[in-house]
Structures are given as C-alpha cells and as structure tokens.
Chains A and B, each alone.
Chain A
Amino acid sequence: MKKWFVLTMVIALVGCAHTREHKTQKGAALPADLQTITTYKFGQSRQPLNVVEDQVREAVKSSQASKQLAAQLAALLATDATPECKQFVCRQLVLIGTPAEAERLAPLLLDPGTADMARYALEAIPGAKVEKALIAALDDAPDSVKPGILNTLGARHTQRAAKAVQAYTTHANPTIADAAKSALEQIRG
C-alpha cells in the first residue's frame, strides 16, 4: 500500500513538473521562448538563450516592443527560474530595461546571491526611479552588498545620492567607506 502511495506521488510530481508554467506575479503565462529559458543551467545548450537574445536585438528597434519584452523578461526575476536564467535576464535588461523594471530588480539588491546581477542591469538603465531604488536599497542591503551599490551610484554619477553616499564615507567597514569615498568623487565629478 505504502509502495503504491509513493509511486502515485512520484507520478503526480513528475506530471506537475512537466506541465508547470512559469507565470508572472499577476498570473499571465509567459511566451514559449521565455518559458524555455527558465530552466537553463550552465553547461546546457545556449540555443534557447540565443533565440531570446535575437528577440532583444530586434526589440531595440521599437520602443513599444522593447518595453513589452523587458517587462516579460523582468517578470522571470520573481519566479523560481534558475539563477543562470535570471542572470541572463539581467544581461538583456542592460539593453532594453526601463525604469519600470527597477521594481523587479530592486529586491534582488538585498540578497548577496543576486545583488551583482541586479546591479549589472540597473547600472545601465537610466532614470530617477532606478536611482531611487538604488539609494533605498543602500540602507537595507547587507554590508557585503553595500560597496557594490555605492559603486553603481558612483558610476552613474547619481547627484541625488550624494547625501546618502556621504554618510557611508565614515562607515566602520573600510571596504564600504572606501567605496563611498570613491563614489562621492565620481558623483562630484
């Protein structure tokens, strides 16, 4: 009896895994090409990623297409897509991300495992909304992530961050203080 129960559960779980769709937080199904990349892991064929890269290259030509694809890609950041998939998404957002994607990227800044990939995208996306997200994350992020956020604010020459960055120049952690001083130099130009 126990054996049959276990077998039934395994079949049910496998079935779920096969039919599971990655959905956005609002529940909308992802386009098939994006669905395919959600399970990408290092060492596998990159062909599905290349398909999406081609779509991004095409989307760059149209503001509307670009916005739509950026939103669809950013939606993956809130799913259980693999870290490799999420890193790939952040790389694409460098080109087509808009301030609207800051909302999806900001939570990743607080996790040392995802902060670098989030910054990779955010550093390239213009807009006050992005800057505000970075500044807001500065206080909440763990110490190991703070230097990176400071560096990104410096690289973006974020004037509005000057006061917040200044506060970190005397931080007890020398790596953070060092990053803050350097960022401030860049901000003040």
Chain B
Amino acid sequence: MSVRPKKSSNRNQPSSNLSRRDFMKRTAALAAGAAAFPAIIPASAFGAAAPSKRIVMGCIGVGSQGTGNMRHFLRYPDVKIVAVCDVDAEHRKNAKKFVDEAYGNQDCAEYHDFRELLARDDLDGVSIAVPDHWHSIPAIAAANRGLDIYAEKPLSLTIREGRAMVEAVRKNETVWQTGSWQRSQSHFLRACELVRNGRIGEVHTVKVGLPTGSAIDPQPEMPIPAGFDYDMWLGPAPYSPYTEKRCHWNFRWILDYSGGQLTDWAAHHCDIANWGMGTEFTGPSSVDGNGEFPKDGLWNTAINYMLECKFPKGASPVAPDGFTMFVSNSFPMGARFEGSEGWIYVDRGEKLVTFPDMLKTSEIGPNETRLYKSEDHFQNFIDCVRSREKTVTPIDPAHHAITIAHLGNISMRLGHKVHWDPQHEEFVNDPTADRLLSRSMRGSWHI
C-alpha cells in the first residue's frame, strides 16, 4: 500500500525538462561557481520558461503542530503551499481555508491520502507533521519521490525506522530539516559552542531534563467521528478501537504510536546535549532505564523515568574519559553540562546560566570550533533547498538523539540495562532487546 517510489527520473533529462528541484540544484551549482569566479549571471540566462523561484510545498498532517508549521511557511514569500493533506476532514478544511485566505484564492488542493499529494508533479518539498507512528512511511516515500522535507520530531517510532529514513534521505540527497528548532536559537548555539570549546573543561556529566508523563482512566470505545478516517490514522499501528483520548495530540502517551514525554522532548534536549558534546553521529554504549508507568488506563508511556546513558572514551571531543548523560523528568527542563571547570545550563526562554558566570561573555576565537548558525529554522530549510547544503538539524543527528530515548524505553520495558553498539546499531549480546528494534506494520503498510 505504500507509495512505489518514483525516483527523481528527470535529473538527467535535457534542460527543457528541468524540474523545479533540478533547477534549484543547478542554480545552486551556478552560484557556487560564481563565488569562485565572480561573474554576473543575468536573469535572462535562466530562460523565459524558467520555473518560478518559489519553492512549491505540500503539507502532510495539518493538525495543531502541522498547521503551526504551515503558518510559518506561509510567512515566507519565496514559498508557495499548494496542497494540504490530513485524515481528519476538519483539519484539512481548516488548513485549506487558511492557505486560501493567505493567498487570496481558492487554489489550495486538499488530500486525504498522502500518496495522492506526493503524486503531484509540481512539488519541491513537503512539510510532514503526523503522529510518530506515521513518520517513516510518508518521509521515505517523499524522499524517494525526490522531494525535500521539513519533518516534525521525534524522528521515528523505532530505531530501525529511523535508520531506514536516514538511508532514504542519504540515497536521494534529500534536504532534510527536523523540527528540533532549538538549534536555531542563539543561546542554545552559544551554550553548545562554549561546551565544545572546553570552557567548562572536560565534561563528565550531562543532565537532560524532560517533562513528566500522565495517566488516564480506561476509556470506552466511541463512535468514530464523521470525517475522520480512523483506519488511516492507525495506519501501520496495531488495530485498537476508537476512543477520543487515543488520537490527535494524545497519541504521544500511547506506546503504539509514540514514546511519551521521553521521546517527544528528547528530540529537543537530547539533541542539544548531543550538539554540545559532539556526539551527534554516535551514541551511548549502554543505557540503564528505570521508570514508573501508569498502573491502569489507556495511556501507557512512562510517567517518571531516569535513564543513565554511558558514552565511552572517544565518543566526545570534550570528554576524553567518556561521560554519562542522565535523562529524566526529575531535572529542570533543558540541558546541563557539567565539567571539570564549571557547568552550563540551557533551556528555552533564553535561559543560559553558567558557572563561573563570566563564561557567558567568553569570546569564541577565530581558530576555535564554530557550530552551524541558523537564526530561523524555517528560513534555514528554505535556504538549504536552494543551496543544497545541509540544514542545521539534518537527519543523522535527529536519528541519534531519538535513539537515546528509544534505548531508554527498551531498557525500561525489559527491566534491565542494555548495551549498545552505536556503530552497527545493534544490542550487544541481548537478543531480546534486538526484537524491539523494529515493529511489524499492520496490513500492507511497509517502509
């Protein structure tokens, strides 16, 4: 049932058949050449039939988060949204109305099935904001279709799905931006650059604070609301009867669809922790998870949790002896880096606290490590679609950040510490844990 990948077959076609995406790629190449050999390229050189310079996008999933992202994209004059897709007719209609009002026309197309949206031949990219259990299938299909992708976090439902997404993006040279937008805030960048440049000495501990989970009573089966395609909403997840508190925002609290507050927020703060530590392309060698789960009711993700993640020697350039990352709802929200000469705490709301205090004003010298600077997460994606450069939050770091949370959930489920080989993405001598690397998909869905 999944989309048969229609590979970007027009990449090697004559210029008269240039797709919009090819056009942008070649324009980027020209721009790079222009930087090396300064020259003025007149607009006419692109030809009268040159595609519009606007990036044409579709939005898959237009619930609360997806609509928020869509509204962001609408603010950029060089983006044009031409289609929206959702399995909930109300979401879909509201999104179309919003887009049409923004453009002053009735042109925005509505789709109930993402495969129909992806079949359009005028798209350059898609914004994907669907429940976690739906992340991999449309993302891989879009990448195989040759589209660039702005996708919501957390990257995946399982480690294997995440890996498949990484491979699809790599194979298709997709420009990928994860919705872990904290990287586009200057104080997070600043905190990470201070850590990376040894301002707190050798780091031994990172404490990542995330929110506490919730429980709810058992819920009755309810009639499926009109206009809501519940079977499609479930998609690859196991069948369960409809009840209101299962769907939309609440999917996060049910393990069939997500990993709870742990995965929802690890995609932000573990990502920042990895960014600061330079461990964005590797992972811990062991994770010991302890958690408290709801004793009853519909929701079954962890309420309280503490993960102890050991990163070995050599994993981080600022922790030569290795370090421990603790991930828990018992810490203040955010990331706190603790080193031999001080600590740095960073969170939303411009919170950047250091010890000693003077670290805050410490200059990063010209020969020191500078991290990727983005001041606007959406603009960064748009710029990268044109330049074909990597975004500030490409897919690999997103995969490694969420893998920490997945390992934690697996450890908690098994009730024992798990040992992990981050290079091969396999558990060490733990065949039971290996069984939880992926999940069977319902019906004919597959990646």
Interface residues of A (CB under 8 A from B): 42-47, 50, 57-58, 60-61, 87, 91, 94-96, 116-117, 119-120, 122-126, 147-148, 151-152, 154-155, 175, 178-179, 182-183
Could you say which residues of chain B place their CB within 8 Å of the CB of A61? 415-416
Asked if B314 is at the interface of the complex by the 8 Å CB criterion, the answer is no
Bound-state CA distance A54–B446 (Å) is 31
Residue of A at shortest CB range from B443?
Answer: A148
Interface residues of B in 433-447 (CB under 8 A from A): 435-436, 438-446
Q: Tell me the minimal C-beta distance from B271 to chain A in angstroms.
A: 28
Contact call B296/A46, Cβ cutoff below 8 A: yes
Known contacts A43-B220, A175-B1; A116 and B443 CB within 8 A of each other: yes
Contact call A147/B435, Cβ cutoff below 8 A: no
Residue in contact with A116 in the complex, picked from B219, B238, B438, CB distance below 8 Å: B238
Q: Tell me the minimal C-beta distance from B162 to chain A in angstroms.
A: 15
Contact call A155/B221, Cβ cutoff below 8 A: no
Main secondary structure on A side of the interface with B: helix
Q: Tell me the minimal C-beta distance from B300 to chain A in angstroms.
A: 8
Contact call A175/B435, Cβ cutoff below 8 A: no
Q: Beta-carbon contacts of B235-247 to A below 8 Å, as 1s and 0s?
A: 0001111010000
Residue in contact with B238 in the complex, picked from A87, A95, A125, A148, CB distance below 8 Å: A87
Asked if B349 is at the interface of the complex by the 8 Å CB criterion, the answer is no
Contact call B432/A60, Cβ cutoff below 8 A: yes
Could you say which residues of chain B place their CB within 8 Å of the CB of A47? 295-296
Interface residues of B in 217-242 (CB under 8 A from A): 218-221, 238-241
Could you say which residues of chain B place their CB within 8 Å of the CB of A125? 435
Could you say which residues of chain A place their CB within 8 Å of the CB of B414? 57, 60, 95
Contact call A120/B446, Cβ cutoff below 8 A: no
Contact call A147/B295, Cβ cutoff below 8 A: no
Contact call B440/A155, Cβ cutoff below 8 A: yes
Known contacts A95-B432, A116-B238, A120-B440; A155 and B218 CB within 8 A of each other: no
Contact call A116/B239, Cβ cutoff below 8 A: yes
Contact call A148/B218, Cβ cutoff below 8 A: no
Residue in contact with A46 in the complex, picked from B218, B239, B241, B441, CB distance below 8 Å: B218
Asked if B413 is at the interface of the complex by the 8 Å CB criterion, the answer is yes
Contact call A94/B238, Cβ cutoff below 8 A: no
Bound-state CA distance A16–B441 (Å) is 39
Bound-state CA distance A122–B431 (Å) is 15
Bound-state CA distance A57–B410 (Å) is 11
Asked if B42 is at the interface of the complex by the 8 Å CB criterion, the answer is no
Residue of B at shortest CB range from A91?
Answer: B238
Asked if B297 is at the interface of the complex by the 8 Å CB criterion, the answer is yes
Could you say which residues of chain A place their CB within 8 Å of the CB of B120? none
Asked if B4 is at the interface of the complex by the 8 Å CB criterion, the answer is yes
Bound-state CA distance A116–B442 (Å) is 6
Range, interface on chain B: 20 to 34
Residue of A at shortest CB range from B293?
Answer: A50
Q: Tell me the minimal C-beta distance from A153 to chain B in angstroms.
A: 11
Residue in contact with B4 in the complex, picked from A58, A87, A126, A178, CB distance below 8 Å: A178
Contact call A50/B435, Cβ cutoff below 8 A: no
Q: Tell me the minimal C-beta distance from B169 to chain A in angstroms.
A: 18
Could you say which residues of chain B place their CB within 8 Å of the CB of A42? 221, 240-241
Contact call A50/B296, Cβ cutoff below 8 A: yes
Known contacts A46-B218, A179-B446; A94 and B296 CB within 8 A of each other: no
Known contacts A45-B218, A46-B297; A119 and B440 CB within 8 A of each other: yes
Residue of B at shortest CB range from A182?
Answer: B446
Known contacts A116-B443, A126-B431; A45 and B296 CB within 8 A of each other: yes
CB<8 Å pairs between A and B, sample of 18: A44-B218, A46-B218, A57-B413, A94-B436, A116-B238, A120-B238, A123-B438, A123-B439, A124-B436, A126-B431, A147-B443, A148-B441, A148-B443, A148-B444, A151-B444, A152-B440, A178-B2, A182-B446
Q: Tell me the minimal C-beta distance from A46 to chain B in angstroms.
A: 5
Q: Tell me the minimal C-beta distance from B222 to chain A in angstroms.
A: 10
18 further interface pairs, Cβ-Cβ under 8 Å (given A43-B243, A120-B439, A155-B440): A42-B240, A43-B218, A45-B296, A46-B296, A50-B296, A57-B413, A60-B414, A61-B416, A87-B238, A91-B238, A94-B435, A116-B442, A124-B435, A147-B443, A148-B443, A178-B2, A178-B4, A183-B446
Could you say which residues of chain A place their CB within 8 Å of the CB of B238? 87, 91, 116-117, 120
Residue of A at shortest CB range from B217?
Answer: A45
Residue of A at shortest CB range from B441?
Answer: A151
Could you say which residues of chain A place their CB within 8 Å of the CB of B413? 57
Could you say which residues of chain A place their CB within 8 Å of the CB of B220? 43
Of the candidates B295, B431, B440, the one having the most CB atoms from chain A within 10 angstroms of its own CB is B440
Could you say which residues of chain A place their CB within 8 Å of the CB of B441? 148, 151
Contact call B221/A43, Cβ cutoff below 8 A: yes
Residue of B at shortest CB range from A118?
Answer: B440
Could you say which residues of chain A place their CB within 8 Å of the CB of B240? 42
Interface residues of B in 403-425 (CB under 8 A from A): 413-416
The 5 tightest CB contacts between A and B, nearest first, are A147-B444, A123-B440, A151-B446, A124-B435, A57-B415
Bound-state CA distance A119–B238 (Å) is 10
Could you say which residues of chain A place their CB within 8 Å of the CB of B296? 45-47, 50
Residue of B at shortest CB range from A49?
Answer: B296
Bound-state CA distance A105–B1 (Å) is 24
Could you say which residues of chain B place their CB within 8 Å of the CB of A50? 295-296
Could you say which residues of chain B place their CB within 8 Å of the CB of A122? 440
Contact call A154/B435, Cβ cutoff below 8 A: no
Q: Tell me the minimal C-beta distance from B131 to chain A in angstroms.
A: 18
Residue of B at shortest CB range from A183?
Answer: B446
Residue of B at shortest CB range from A97?
Answer: B435
Contact call B444/A60, Cβ cutoff below 8 A: no
Q: Beta-carbon contacts of B183-216 to A below 8 Å, as 1s and 0s?
A: 0000000000000000000000000000000000
Could you say which residues of chain B place their CB within 8 Å of the CB of A124? 435-436, 440
